[in-house]
């Protein structure tokens, strides 16, 4: 939606966090078997279905800390970078959607259904 309505592409941030999480999960499964990684069917994660990696976005930084990676390693900031891009885009997208709803006289309906 951000690309369609705002012409903003946060894909590179999404790709970076996906790659970091995927690699960190591989490493953590082998080196830190007691760490609780997301997977389908866990009672405490009932919404974990297809993209369980998204539940482990915390993992790259945790692995980087545990492994003693240099402070400038991208895993320290992958989640931060994605989160900042995602939240800023979400706010801008909401403002655009609100403008469109109001221009079509649908804002009151939106608020009621909210």
25: helix, strand or coil: helix
Q: Calculate mean pLDDT across residues 42-70.
A: 93
Q: Calculate mean pLDDT across residues 22-48.
A: 93
- Arithmetic mean of pLDDT over the chain: 95
Q: Calculate mean pLDDT across residues 9-18.
A: 96
Per-domain boundaries in the chain: 2-113
Query: How far apart are alpha carbons 20 and 70 in whole angstroms?
Result: 15
Give me the residue label for tokens 């930084």: 61
Band of the pLDDT at 102, cuts 50, 70, 90? very high
- 83 has pLDDT over 90: yes
Token output for 95: 């403002």
pTM: 0.84
């Amino acid at each position: 939606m951000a690309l369609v309505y705002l012409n903003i592409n946060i894909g590179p941030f999404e790709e970076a966090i996906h790659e970091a999480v995927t690699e960190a999960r591989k490493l953590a499964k082998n080196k830190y078997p007691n760490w609780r990684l997301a997977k389908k069917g866990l009672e405490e994660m009932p919404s974990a279905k297809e993209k369980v990696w998204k539940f482990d976005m915390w993992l790259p930084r945790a692995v980087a800390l545990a492994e003693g990676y240099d402070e400038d390693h991208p895993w320290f900031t992958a989640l931060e970078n994605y989160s900042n891009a995602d939240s800023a885009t979400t706010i801008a997208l909401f403002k655009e959607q609100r403008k469109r709803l109001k221009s079509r006289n649908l804002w009151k309906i939106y608020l009621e259904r909210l």
